[in-house]
Amino acid sequence: MKMLKYALHSGGMPRNRLLRQLSAHIFRRSYSSNIRNIGILAHIDAGKTTTTERMLFYSGKTRSLGEVHRGNTVTDYLTQERERGITICSSAVTFPWSGNRINLLDTPGHIDFTMEVEQSLYAVDGVVVVLDGTAGVEAQTVTVWTQADKHKLPRLAFVNKMDRPDADFDKCVNDLRTKLETQPVCIQYPSKNQDGLLTINDVITLEQLTWQPKDLGRSYSKTKLEPSDDLRQLQEKRNELIDQLSGLDDELADVVISTESFDNVSNALIERALRRATCQQKVVPVLLGSAYKNVGIQRLMDAVNTYLPAPEERNQIYDCFGNEVAGKVFKIVHDKQRGPLTLVRILRGEIKRGMRLICSRGQAEVVSKLYEPLADEYREVGAVQSGDVVICAGLKSTVTGDLLTSSQTALRNAQKRLKQSQGTVSTDEDEELDTDELFGIDRQIPDAVYFCSIEPPSVSSQTAMEQALRQLQREDPSLRVSYDSVTGQTVLGGMGELHMDIIKSRILSEYKIDVDLGPLQIAYKETIESPSLTTLSVEKEIAGSKQNVSLTLEVVKDQGELFR
Protein backbone atom coordinates (compact mmCIF):
# COMPACT_ATOMS: atom_id res chain seq x y z
CA MET A 1 0.00 0.00 0.00
CA LYS A 2 2.88 2.38 0.72
CA MET A 3 4.28 1.71 -2.77
CA LEU A 4 0.87 2.44 -4.30
CA LYS A 5 0.61 5.70 -2.37
CA TYR A 6 4.13 6.68 -3.46
CA ALA A 7 3.36 5.89 -7.08
CA LEU A 8 0.20 8.01 -6.96
CA HIS A 9 2.09 11.03 -5.71
CA SER A 10 5.28 10.60 -7.73
CA GLY A 11 3.58 10.01 -11.05
CA GLY A 12 5.67 6.86 -11.68
CA MET A 13 2.60 5.11 -13.08
CA PRO A 14 -0.36 6.63 -14.97
CA ARG A 15 -2.99 7.51 -12.37
CA ASN A 16 -6.00 6.02 -14.17
CA ARG A 17 -4.28 2.69 -14.81
CA LEU A 18 -3.11 2.49 -11.22
CA LEU A 19 -6.61 3.19 -9.90
CA ARG A 20 -8.01 0.46 -12.13
CA GLN A 21 -5.49 -2.01 -10.75
CA LEU A 22 -6.29 -0.92 -7.22
CA SER A 23 -10.06 -1.31 -7.73
CA ALA A 24 -9.52 -4.73 -9.32
CA HIS A 25 -7.65 -5.91 -6.24
CA ILE A 26 -9.73 -8.41 -4.30
CA PHE A 27 -11.01 -6.79 -1.12
CA ARG A 28 -11.54 -9.60 1.36
CA ARG A 29 -13.87 -9.00 4.31
CA SER A 30 -13.34 -11.34 7.23
CA TYR A 31 -16.05 -13.09 9.18
CA SER A 32 -15.80 -12.08 12.81
CA SER A 33 -17.79 -10.98 15.83
CA ASN A 34 -17.27 -7.38 14.70
CA ILE A 35 -20.30 -7.39 12.38
CA ARG A 36 -23.82 -6.29 13.30
CA ASN A 37 -26.67 -6.85 10.85
CA ILE A 38 -29.62 -4.74 11.99
CA GLY A 39 -32.91 -3.43 10.66
CA ILE A 40 -34.61 -0.21 11.67
CA LEU A 41 -38.40 -0.44 12.02
CA ALA A 42 -41.14 2.04 12.93
CA HIS A 43 -44.50 3.55 12.16
CA ILE A 44 -44.49 6.13 9.35
CA ASP A 45 -42.90 9.49 10.30
CA ALA A 46 -41.36 8.21 13.54
CA GLY A 47 -37.91 9.21 12.30
CA LYS A 48 -36.28 6.05 10.91
CA THR A 49 -34.59 7.66 7.93
CA THR A 50 -33.44 10.70 9.93
CA THR A 51 -31.92 8.36 12.51
CA THR A 52 -30.16 6.39 9.76
CA GLU A 53 -28.77 9.58 8.20
CA ARG A 54 -27.28 10.60 11.56
CA MET A 55 -25.67 7.20 11.94
CA LEU A 56 -24.02 7.56 8.53
CA PHE A 57 -22.86 11.09 9.33
CA TYR A 58 -21.37 10.38 12.76
CA SER A 59 -19.65 7.22 11.50
CA GLY A 60 -17.92 9.26 8.79
CA LYS A 61 -19.67 7.50 5.91
CA THR A 62 -21.22 10.78 4.73
CA ARG A 63 -19.87 14.32 4.98
CA SER A 64 -23.17 16.17 5.35
CA LEU A 65 -26.44 15.57 7.16
CA GLY A 66 -29.21 14.28 4.92
CA GLU A 67 -32.66 15.67 5.65
CA VAL A 68 -35.95 14.11 4.55
CA HIS A 69 -37.61 17.50 3.94
CA ARG A 70 -34.69 18.57 1.72
CA GLY A 71 -34.78 15.39 -0.36
CA ASN A 72 -31.05 14.69 0.00
CA THR A 73 -31.03 11.52 2.10
CA VAL A 74 -28.84 8.55 1.23
CA THR A 75 -31.33 5.77 1.90
CA ASP A 76 -34.38 7.45 0.33
CA TYR A 77 -32.91 7.71 -3.16
CA LEU A 78 -35.95 7.06 -5.37
CA THR A 79 -37.56 10.12 -6.92
CA GLN A 80 -40.91 9.17 -5.40
CA GLU A 81 -39.35 8.85 -1.92
CA ARG A 82 -37.79 12.30 -2.08
CA GLU A 83 -40.93 13.91 -3.46
CA ARG A 84 -43.25 12.41 -0.84
CA GLY A 85 -40.80 12.36 2.08
CA ILE A 86 -41.47 8.70 2.88
CA THR A 87 -39.51 5.46 2.57
CA ILE A 88 -40.90 3.16 -0.14
CA CYS A 89 -38.15 0.59 -0.71
CA SER A 90 -35.87 -0.84 1.95
CA SER A 91 -32.22 0.05 1.39
CA ALA A 92 -28.98 -1.35 2.78
CA VAL A 93 -26.02 0.71 4.03
CA THR A 94 -22.73 -0.30 5.63
CA PHE A 95 -20.73 1.88 8.02
CA PRO A 96 -18.07 1.44 10.72
CA TRP A 97 -18.58 2.25 14.40
CA SER A 98 -16.21 1.69 17.34
CA GLY A 99 -14.30 -1.13 15.67
CA ASN A 100 -17.42 -2.88 14.38
CA ARG A 101 -19.05 -2.84 10.96
CA ILE A 102 -22.80 -2.26 10.99
CA ASN A 103 -24.93 -3.41 8.05
CA LEU A 104 -28.21 -1.51 8.41
CA LEU A 105 -31.48 -1.92 6.51
CA ASP A 106 -33.75 1.14 6.51
CA THR A 107 -37.32 -0.10 5.98
CA PRO A 108 -40.64 1.58 5.02
CA GLY A 109 -43.14 2.57 7.69
CA HIS A 110 -46.27 2.64 5.52
CA ILE A 111 -48.57 -0.37 5.68
CA ASP A 112 -48.70 -0.63 1.87
CA PHE A 113 -45.02 -1.65 1.88
CA THR A 114 -45.11 -4.20 4.71
CA MET A 115 -43.69 -6.80 2.31
CA GLU A 116 -40.48 -4.77 2.11
CA VAL A 117 -40.11 -5.07 5.89
CA GLU A 118 -40.81 -8.80 5.82
CA GLN A 119 -38.11 -9.40 3.19
CA SER A 120 -35.54 -7.36 5.11
CA LEU A 121 -36.00 -9.26 8.36
CA TYR A 122 -34.53 -12.40 6.77
CA ALA A 123 -31.18 -10.61 6.52
CA VAL A 124 -30.78 -9.16 10.02
CA ASP A 125 -29.80 -10.49 13.45
CA GLY A 126 -31.52 -7.75 15.48
CA VAL A 127 -33.66 -4.65 15.03
CA VAL A 128 -34.01 -1.12 16.36
CA VAL A 129 -37.66 -0.10 16.78
CA VAL A 130 -38.08 3.69 16.64
CA LEU A 131 -40.98 5.23 18.54
CA ASP A 132 -42.36 8.74 18.15
CA GLY A 133 -41.98 10.23 21.64
CA THR A 134 -45.20 12.21 21.16
CA ALA A 135 -47.32 9.27 19.97
CA GLY A 136 -45.90 6.12 21.59
CA VAL A 137 -46.75 2.74 20.06
CA GLU A 138 -48.80 3.23 16.87
CA ALA A 139 -50.61 0.88 14.50
CA GLN A 140 -47.67 0.02 12.23
CA THR A 141 -45.40 -0.30 15.28
CA VAL A 142 -47.54 -3.25 16.34
CA THR A 143 -47.30 -4.75 12.84
CA VAL A 144 -43.51 -4.57 12.59
CA TRP A 145 -43.14 -5.78 16.19
CA THR A 146 -45.22 -8.85 15.30
CA GLN A 147 -42.99 -9.45 12.26
CA ALA A 148 -39.89 -9.25 14.47
CA ASP A 149 -41.52 -11.74 16.86
CA LYS A 150 -42.08 -14.12 13.96
CA HIS A 151 -38.35 -14.03 13.12
CA LYS A 152 -37.39 -14.20 16.83
CA LEU A 153 -35.21 -11.11 16.58
CA PRO A 154 -33.64 -9.34 19.59
CA ARG A 155 -34.48 -5.66 19.56
CA LEU A 156 -33.74 -2.24 20.99
CA ALA A 157 -36.33 0.53 21.39
CA PHE A 158 -35.34 4.12 20.57
CA VAL A 159 -37.79 6.82 21.71
CA ASN A 160 -37.27 9.64 19.20
CA LYS A 161 -38.39 13.30 19.17
CA MET A 162 -37.83 13.68 22.92
CA ASP A 163 -36.90 17.34 22.41
CA ARG A 164 -40.54 18.23 21.73
CA PRO A 165 -42.57 19.66 24.62
CA ASP A 166 -45.40 17.13 24.13
CA ALA A 167 -43.09 14.10 24.23
CA ASP A 168 -43.91 11.62 26.99
CA PHE A 169 -41.18 9.05 27.71
CA ASP A 170 -43.11 7.25 30.47
CA LYS A 171 -46.13 6.79 28.18
CA CYS A 172 -43.93 5.25 25.47
CA VAL A 173 -42.42 2.80 27.97
CA ASN A 174 -45.88 1.91 29.29
CA ASP A 175 -47.10 1.37 25.69
CA LEU A 176 -44.23 -1.07 25.12
CA ARG A 177 -45.29 -2.98 28.21
CA THR A 178 -49.05 -3.03 27.62
CA LYS A 179 -49.60 -2.85 23.85
CA LEU A 180 -46.64 -5.00 22.80
CA GLU A 181 -46.57 -7.21 25.91
CA THR A 182 -42.82 -6.98 26.29
CA GLN A 183 -40.49 -6.22 29.19
CA PRO A 184 -38.85 -2.82 28.57
CA VAL A 185 -35.65 -1.97 30.43
CA CYS A 186 -34.87 1.75 30.55
CA ILE A 187 -31.14 2.45 30.45
CA GLN A 188 -31.62 6.18 29.83
CA TYR A 189 -33.96 8.89 31.09
CA PRO A 190 -34.60 12.39 29.67
CA SER A 191 -33.65 15.63 31.41
CA LYS A 192 -33.04 19.28 30.55
CA ASN A 193 -29.91 21.36 31.12
CA GLN A 194 -29.71 25.01 32.19
CA ASP A 195 -30.37 26.18 28.62
CA GLY A 196 -33.50 24.04 28.36
CA LEU A 197 -31.91 21.64 25.88
CA LEU A 198 -32.49 17.89 25.94
CA THR A 199 -29.88 15.92 27.88
CA ILE A 200 -29.77 12.24 28.76
CA ASN A 201 -29.18 10.63 32.15
CA ASP A 202 -27.41 7.28 31.82
CA VAL A 203 -28.77 4.76 34.33
CA ILE A 204 -25.77 2.42 34.25
CA THR A 205 -22.94 4.98 34.56
CA LEU A 206 -24.93 7.62 36.54
CA GLU A 207 -23.74 10.30 34.10
CA GLN A 208 -25.47 13.17 32.35
CA LEU A 209 -24.82 13.30 28.60
CA THR A 210 -24.95 16.66 26.85
CA TRP A 211 -24.65 17.08 23.08
CA GLN A 212 -23.02 20.11 21.48
CA PRO A 213 -25.34 21.80 18.94
CA LYS A 214 -22.50 23.90 17.47
CA ASP A 215 -20.82 20.93 15.76
CA LEU A 216 -24.08 19.22 14.69
CA GLY A 217 -23.95 16.82 17.62
CA ARG A 218 -20.63 15.25 16.66
CA SER A 219 -19.37 15.54 20.23
CA TYR A 220 -21.01 15.20 23.60
CA SER A 221 -19.83 15.56 27.18
CA LYS A 222 -20.21 13.18 30.12
CA THR A 223 -20.72 14.71 33.55
CA LYS A 224 -20.95 12.84 36.83
CA LEU A 225 -24.09 13.98 38.62
CA GLU A 226 -23.56 15.87 41.84
CA PRO A 227 -25.40 14.67 44.97
CA SER A 228 -28.97 15.79 44.43
CA ASP A 229 -32.50 14.51 44.04
CA ASP A 230 -31.75 13.68 40.40
CA LEU A 231 -28.79 11.51 41.41
CA ARG A 232 -30.80 9.72 44.11
CA GLN A 233 -33.60 9.00 41.64
CA LEU A 234 -31.10 7.73 39.08
CA GLN A 235 -29.45 5.47 41.68
CA GLU A 236 -32.88 4.05 42.48
CA LYS A 237 -33.42 3.40 38.76
CA ARG A 238 -30.02 1.66 38.60
CA ASN A 239 -30.93 -0.55 41.55
CA GLU A 240 -34.27 -1.40 39.92
CA LEU A 241 -32.42 -2.31 36.72
CA ILE A 242 -30.01 -4.60 38.61
CA ASP A 243 -32.89 -6.19 40.50
CA GLN A 244 -34.81 -6.81 37.28
CA LEU A 245 -31.80 -8.31 35.47
CA SER A 246 -30.72 -10.45 38.43
CA GLY A 247 -33.97 -12.37 38.08
CA LEU A 248 -33.01 -13.20 34.49
CA ASP A 249 -29.23 -13.67 34.61
CA ASP A 250 -27.41 -16.16 36.87
CA GLU A 251 -24.01 -14.43 36.81
CA LEU A 252 -25.48 -11.13 37.97
CA ALA A 253 -27.64 -12.87 40.56
CA ASP A 254 -24.61 -14.65 42.05
CA VAL A 255 -22.73 -11.35 42.44
CA VAL A 256 -25.71 -9.63 44.06
CA ILE A 257 -26.20 -12.52 46.49
CA SER A 258 -22.51 -12.81 47.38
CA THR A 259 -22.02 -9.06 47.98
CA GLU A 260 -25.50 -8.48 49.43
CA SER A 261 -25.47 -5.06 47.78
CA PHE A 262 -26.33 -3.41 44.49
CA ASP A 263 -23.57 -0.81 44.91
CA ASN A 264 -20.77 -3.31 44.24
CA VAL A 265 -22.14 -4.37 40.85
CA SER A 266 -19.88 -3.05 38.09
CA ASN A 267 -21.10 -1.38 34.93
CA ALA A 268 -19.48 -4.07 32.78
CA LEU A 269 -21.35 -6.81 34.63
CA ILE A 270 -24.66 -5.00 34.11
CA GLU A 271 -23.94 -4.65 30.38
CA ARG A 272 -23.04 -8.34 30.03
CA ALA A 273 -26.22 -9.38 31.83
CA LEU A 274 -28.33 -6.98 29.75
CA ARG A 275 -26.76 -8.30 26.54
CA ARG A 276 -27.55 -11.90 27.40
CA ALA A 277 -31.13 -11.04 28.35
CA THR A 278 -31.58 -9.01 25.16
CA CYS A 279 -30.19 -11.74 22.88
CA GLN A 280 -32.51 -14.24 24.58
CA GLN A 281 -35.42 -11.82 23.92
CA LYS A 282 -36.28 -11.58 27.59
CA VAL A 283 -36.01 -7.79 27.73
CA VAL A 284 -35.92 -4.80 25.39
CA PRO A 285 -33.42 -2.03 26.29
CA VAL A 286 -35.01 1.42 25.86
CA LEU A 287 -32.95 4.44 24.78
CA LEU A 288 -34.00 7.96 23.86
CA GLY A 289 -32.93 11.01 21.89
CA SER A 290 -33.83 13.34 19.08
CA ALA A 291 -32.47 12.44 15.66
CA TYR A 292 -33.48 15.78 14.14
CA LYS A 293 -31.75 17.71 16.94
CA ASN A 294 -28.69 15.38 16.78
CA VAL A 295 -29.05 14.02 20.31
CA GLY A 296 -28.49 10.43 21.43
CA ILE A 297 -27.50 8.78 18.14
CA GLN A 298 -23.95 7.84 19.10
CA ARG A 299 -25.18 6.09 22.24
CA LEU A 300 -27.75 4.22 20.15
CA MET A 301 -24.95 2.93 17.90
CA ASP A 302 -22.97 1.97 21.01
CA ALA A 303 -26.01 0.00 22.20
CA VAL A 304 -26.23 -1.80 18.84
CA ASN A 305 -22.63 -2.95 19.26
CA THR A 306 -23.04 -3.81 22.93
CA TYR A 307 -26.44 -5.49 23.17
CA LEU A 308 -27.40 -6.93 19.76
CA PRO A 309 -25.97 -10.30 18.66
CA ALA A 310 -23.13 -10.96 16.22
CA PRO A 311 -23.84 -13.18 13.16
CA GLU A 312 -22.31 -16.34 14.65
CA GLU A 313 -24.74 -16.16 17.58
CA ARG A 314 -27.73 -16.82 15.32
CA ASN A 315 -28.80 -19.02 12.38
CA GLN A 316 -27.18 -22.17 13.80
CA ILE A 317 -29.52 -24.20 11.60
CA TYR A 318 -27.20 -23.44 8.68
CA ASP A 319 -24.23 -25.13 10.36
CA CYS A 320 -25.21 -28.20 8.34
CA PHE A 321 -23.67 -26.52 5.28
CA GLY A 322 -20.20 -26.61 6.87
CA ASN A 323 -17.84 -24.59 4.67
CA GLU A 324 -20.20 -24.65 1.68
CA VAL A 325 -21.94 -21.45 0.60
CA ALA A 326 -25.39 -20.71 2.02
CA GLY A 327 -26.93 -17.31 1.29
CA LYS A 328 -30.46 -15.96 1.53
CA VAL A 329 -31.81 -13.54 -1.09
CA PHE A 330 -33.81 -10.79 0.60
CA LYS A 331 -34.15 -8.08 -2.06
CA ILE A 332 -33.71 -7.42 -5.78
CA VAL A 333 -33.30 -4.01 -7.40
CA HIS A 334 -32.74 -2.98 -11.01
CA ASP A 335 -29.98 -0.57 -11.93
CA LYS A 336 -29.91 1.11 -15.33
CA GLN A 337 -26.20 0.42 -15.88
CA ARG A 338 -25.67 -2.79 -13.90
CA GLY A 339 -28.97 -4.58 -14.52
CA PRO A 340 -30.64 -6.66 -11.78
CA LEU A 341 -28.79 -6.53 -8.47
CA THR A 342 -29.47 -9.18 -5.84
CA LEU A 343 -28.97 -8.45 -2.13
CA VAL A 344 -27.82 -11.56 -0.28
CA ARG A 345 -27.21 -12.28 3.39
CA ILE A 346 -24.35 -14.80 3.51
CA LEU A 347 -25.08 -17.34 6.21
CA ARG A 348 -22.19 -19.75 5.64
CA GLY A 349 -19.15 -19.98 3.39
CA GLU A 350 -17.74 -17.32 1.08
CA ILE A 351 -19.04 -15.83 -2.18
CA LYS A 352 -16.43 -14.76 -4.72
CA ARG A 353 -16.60 -12.82 -7.94
CA GLY A 354 -17.22 -15.17 -10.89
CA MET A 355 -18.56 -17.94 -8.63
CA ARG A 356 -21.24 -20.37 -9.86
CA LEU A 357 -24.22 -20.71 -7.50
CA ILE A 358 -27.36 -22.83 -7.40
CA CYS A 359 -30.63 -21.51 -6.02
CA SER A 360 -33.01 -23.72 -4.04
CA ARG A 361 -35.33 -23.96 -7.08
CA GLY A 362 -32.54 -25.57 -9.13
CA GLN A 363 -31.40 -22.77 -11.47
CA ALA A 364 -27.67 -22.19 -11.92
CA GLU A 365 -26.37 -18.61 -11.69
CA VAL A 366 -22.97 -16.93 -12.11
CA VAL A 367 -21.96 -13.96 -9.95
CA SER A 368 -20.37 -11.46 -12.34
CA LYS A 369 -19.57 -8.77 -9.72
CA LEU A 370 -19.90 -8.13 -6.00
CA TYR A 371 -20.66 -4.78 -4.38
CA GLU A 372 -20.68 -3.39 -0.86
CA PRO A 373 -24.10 -1.84 -0.14
CA LEU A 374 -24.59 1.90 0.33
CA ALA A 375 -28.16 2.52 -0.84
CA ASP A 376 -27.85 3.39 -4.57
CA GLU A 377 -24.05 3.69 -4.52
CA TYR A 378 -21.80 0.68 -5.01
CA ARG A 379 -18.24 -0.20 -4.12
CA GLU A 380 -16.92 -3.29 -5.89
CA VAL A 381 -15.36 -6.06 -3.79
CA GLY A 382 -13.83 -9.39 -4.72
CA ALA A 383 -15.07 -11.74 -2.00
CA VAL A 384 -17.43 -11.63 0.97
CA GLN A 385 -17.49 -14.10 3.81
CA SER A 386 -20.08 -15.56 6.17
CA GLY A 387 -22.09 -13.19 8.33
CA ASP A 388 -22.04 -10.26 5.91
CA VAL A 389 -24.41 -8.67 3.41
CA VAL A 390 -23.45 -8.27 -0.26
CA ILE A 391 -24.94 -7.16 -3.58
CA CYS A 392 -24.51 -9.70 -6.40
CA ALA A 393 -24.69 -8.69 -10.07
CA GLY A 394 -25.40 -11.13 -12.88
CA LEU A 395 -28.08 -13.31 -11.25
CA LYS A 396 -30.82 -13.66 -13.88
CA SER A 397 -33.56 -15.89 -12.45
CA THR A 398 -33.09 -15.70 -8.68
CA VAL A 399 -36.08 -14.30 -6.80
CA THR A 400 -36.63 -13.00 -3.28
CA GLY A 401 -36.61 -15.79 -0.71
CA ASP A 402 -34.28 -18.12 -2.64
CA LEU A 403 -31.54 -19.98 -0.81
CA LEU A 404 -28.24 -19.86 -2.72
CA THR A 405 -25.60 -22.57 -2.36
CA SER A 406 -22.56 -23.82 -4.26
CA SER A 407 -24.16 -26.96 -5.75
CA GLN A 408 -27.19 -29.23 -5.59
CA THR A 409 -25.01 -31.84 -3.88
CA ALA A 410 -24.09 -29.38 -1.14
CA LEU A 411 -27.78 -28.56 -0.65
CA ARG A 412 -28.85 -32.22 -0.41
CA ASN A 413 -26.00 -33.08 1.95
CA ALA A 414 -26.95 -30.14 4.17
CA GLN A 415 -30.57 -31.28 4.16
CA LYS A 416 -29.59 -34.81 5.18
CA ARG A 417 -27.28 -33.60 7.95
CA LEU A 418 -30.04 -31.36 9.26
CA LYS A 419 -32.55 -34.20 9.15
CA GLN A 420 -30.11 -36.45 11.03
CA SER A 421 -29.53 -33.82 13.70
CA GLN A 422 -33.30 -33.50 14.11
CA GLY A 423 -33.72 -37.27 14.26
CA THR A 424 -36.07 -37.33 11.26
CA VAL A 425 -33.80 -38.84 8.61
CA SER A 426 -35.58 -40.95 5.98
CA THR A 427 -34.33 -44.31 4.74
CA ASP A 428 -35.66 -43.54 1.26
CA GLU A 429 -32.75 -42.05 -0.69
CA ASP A 430 -35.06 -40.79 -3.43
CA GLU A 431 -37.44 -38.95 -1.12
CA GLU A 432 -37.62 -35.27 -2.00
CA LEU A 433 -36.66 -33.06 0.92
CA ASP A 434 -38.59 -29.83 1.46
CA THR A 435 -35.94 -27.07 1.51
CA ASP A 436 -38.42 -24.35 2.45
CA GLU A 437 -39.77 -26.30 5.41
CA LEU A 438 -36.32 -27.30 6.65
CA PHE A 439 -34.70 -23.87 6.51
CA GLY A 440 -37.71 -21.75 7.34
CA ILE A 441 -37.85 -19.89 4.00
CA ASP A 442 -41.36 -18.45 4.00
CA ARG A 443 -42.51 -17.65 0.47
CA GLN A 444 -46.01 -16.63 1.52
CA ILE A 445 -46.99 -13.41 -0.19
CA PRO A 446 -50.02 -11.49 1.12
CA ASP A 447 -53.10 -11.39 -1.09
CA ALA A 448 -53.62 -8.26 -3.12
CA VAL A 449 -56.16 -5.82 -1.70
CA TYR A 450 -56.54 -3.26 -4.51
CA PHE A 451 -56.94 -4.04 -8.21
CA CYS A 452 -56.96 -1.87 -11.30
CA SER A 453 -56.36 -2.18 -15.02
CA ILE A 454 -53.20 -0.77 -16.60
CA GLU A 455 -52.89 0.29 -20.24
CA PRO A 456 -49.94 1.66 -22.24
CA PRO A 457 -50.27 5.01 -24.05
CA SER A 458 -50.01 3.20 -27.40
CA VAL A 459 -49.82 -0.31 -28.82
CA SER A 460 -46.12 0.17 -29.56
CA SER A 461 -45.47 0.61 -25.82
CA GLN A 462 -47.18 -2.66 -24.82
CA THR A 463 -44.00 -4.77 -24.87
CA ALA A 464 -41.98 -2.15 -22.97
CA MET A 465 -44.73 -1.89 -20.35
CA GLU A 466 -44.81 -5.65 -19.86
CA GLN A 467 -41.02 -5.71 -19.44
CA ALA A 468 -41.23 -2.91 -16.87
CA LEU A 469 -43.92 -4.77 -14.94
CA ARG A 470 -41.83 -7.95 -14.92
CA GLN A 471 -38.87 -6.08 -13.43
CA LEU A 472 -41.04 -4.30 -10.85
CA GLN A 473 -42.72 -7.57 -9.91
CA ARG A 474 -39.35 -9.21 -9.39
CA GLU A 475 -38.38 -6.34 -7.06
CA ASP A 476 -41.74 -6.29 -5.28
CA PRO A 477 -43.36 -9.72 -4.78
CA SER A 478 -46.54 -8.11 -3.37
CA LEU A 479 -47.27 -6.64 -6.83
CA ARG A 480 -49.54 -8.99 -8.80
CA VAL A 481 -49.82 -8.83 -12.60
CA SER A 482 -52.47 -10.86 -14.44
CA TYR A 483 -54.28 -10.87 -17.78
CA ASP A 484 -58.07 -10.72 -17.97
CA SER A 485 -59.06 -12.79 -21.01
CA VAL A 486 -62.63 -11.42 -20.95
CA THR A 487 -61.76 -7.72 -21.12
CA GLY A 488 -58.34 -8.17 -22.75
CA GLN A 489 -56.74 -5.96 -20.11
CA THR A 490 -53.66 -6.28 -17.94
CA VAL A 491 -54.69 -6.13 -14.28
CA LEU A 492 -52.51 -4.99 -11.39
CA GLY A 493 -53.01 -6.13 -7.82
CA GLY A 494 -51.39 -4.31 -4.89
CA MET A 495 -51.53 -3.59 -1.18
CA GLY A 496 -53.15 -0.16 -1.33
CA GLU A 497 -53.86 3.02 -3.25
CA LEU A 498 -50.44 4.48 -2.46
CA HIS A 499 -48.80 1.27 -3.67
CA MET A 500 -50.53 1.58 -7.06
CA ASP A 501 -49.66 5.29 -7.35
CA ILE A 502 -45.99 4.52 -6.73
CA ILE A 503 -45.98 1.79 -9.40
CA LYS A 504 -47.46 4.20 -11.95
CA SER A 505 -44.97 6.91 -10.99
CA ARG A 506 -41.98 4.55 -11.20
CA ILE A 507 -42.99 3.29 -14.64
CA LEU A 508 -43.07 6.90 -15.82
CA SER A 509 -39.83 8.06 -14.17
CA GLU A 510 -37.70 4.93 -14.70
CA TYR A 511 -39.09 3.49 -17.95
CA LYS A 512 -40.52 6.65 -19.57
CA ILE A 513 -43.95 5.08 -20.16
CA ASP A 514 -46.99 7.19 -19.24
CA VAL A 515 -49.42 4.37 -18.44
CA ASP A 516 -53.08 4.80 -17.59
CA LEU A 517 -54.58 3.14 -14.51
CA GLY A 518 -58.25 2.23 -14.42
CA PRO A 519 -60.56 2.80 -11.43
CA LEU A 520 -59.49 1.02 -8.25
CA GLN A 521 -61.45 -1.98 -7.03
CA ILE A 522 -61.16 -3.32 -3.51
CA ALA A 523 -60.99 -7.07 -2.94
CA TYR A 524 -63.28 -8.36 -0.23
CA LYS A 525 -64.80 -11.65 0.91
CA GLU A 526 -68.18 -12.41 2.44
CA THR A 527 -69.20 -14.69 5.26
CA ILE A 528 -72.37 -15.44 7.18
CA GLU A 529 -73.26 -13.42 10.27
CA SER A 530 -74.59 -16.39 12.27
CA PRO A 531 -75.10 -20.17 11.87
CA SER A 532 -78.29 -21.38 10.18
CA LEU A 533 -80.12 -24.71 10.22
CA THR A 534 -83.01 -25.83 7.96
CA THR A 535 -84.74 -29.10 7.09
CA LEU A 536 -86.52 -29.94 3.82
CA SER A 537 -88.92 -32.91 3.64
CA VAL A 538 -90.33 -34.36 0.42
CA GLU A 539 -93.07 -36.99 0.16
CA LYS A 540 -93.95 -38.65 -3.12
CA GLU A 541 -95.96 -41.69 -4.18
CA ILE A 542 -94.15 -43.97 -6.59
CA ALA A 543 -95.88 -47.10 -7.98
CA GLY A 544 -98.47 -46.95 -5.26
CA SER A 545 -95.89 -46.67 -2.49
CA LYS A 546 -95.22 -43.53 -0.51
CA GLN A 547 -91.57 -42.40 -0.36
CA ASN A 548 -90.26 -39.87 2.19
CA VAL A 549 -86.96 -37.97 2.05
CA SER A 550 -85.71 -35.48 4.64
CA LEU A 551 -82.63 -33.30 4.09
CA THR A 552 -81.10 -31.22 6.88
CA LEU A 553 -78.62 -28.48 5.97
CA GLU A 554 -76.58 -26.52 8.51
CA VAL A 555 -74.28 -23.60 7.67
CA VAL A 556 -71.70 -23.05 10.40
CA LYS A 557 -69.44 -20.05 10.88
CA ASP A 558 -65.85 -21.26 11.34
CA GLN A 559 -64.23 -18.97 13.91
CA GLY A 560 -60.75 -20.33 13.20
CA GLU A 561 -60.70 -19.49 9.49
CA LEU A 562 -63.13 -16.64 9.00
CA PHE A 563 -62.96 -16.42 5.22
CA ARG A 564 -62.17 -20.01 4.27
- What's the pLDDT score for residue 1? 38
CB 488 within 8 A of CB 561: no
Q: Show Cβ contacts of residue 470 under 8 Å, excluding neighbours closer than 6 positions.
A: 481
- What's the pLDDT score for residue 560? 58
CB 119 within 8 A of CB 89: no
* Average pLDDT per block of 10 residues along the chain, 564 residues long: 38 42 38 83 90 92 81 74 74 91 89 84 94 94 94 96 94 96 95 86 94 89 88 93 92 89 89 95 96 95 96 87 89 85 91 90 89 81 90 89 88 84 54 50 74 91 91 88 87 89 88 89 77 89 85 80 46
- What's the pLDDT score for residue 14? 46
- What's the pLDDT score for residue 162? 96
Cβ neighbours around 385 below 10 Å, total: 18
Q: Measured between alpha carbons, how far is 459 from 448 in angstroms, rounded to an integer?
A: 27
- What's the pLDDT score for residue 520? 81
Residue 379, classed as helix, strand or coil, is strand
Helix (H) or strand (E) holding 31: none
- What's the pLDDT score for residue 435? 53
Q: Measured between alpha carbons, how far is 515 from 148 in angstroms, rounded to an integer?
A: 37
Per DSSP (E only), the strands in 323-449 are: 326-335, 339-348, 350-352, 356-359, 364-366, 369-374, 377-381, 383-385, 389-393, 403-405
Residue 96, classed as helix, strand or coil, is strand
- What's the pLDDT score for residue 184? 96
- What's the pLDDT score for residue 28? 39
Q: What's this model's pTM, rounded to 2 decimal places? A: 0.81
Q: Measured between alpha carbons, how far is 168 from 135 in angstroms, rounded to an integer?
A: 8
Domains and CATH numbers, the chain: 36-89+106-221+283-308 (3.40.50.300), 316-439 (2.40.30.10), 450-522 (3.30.70.870)
Q: Identify how many contiguous H helices and E strands the chain contains and give both numbers.
A: 15, 29
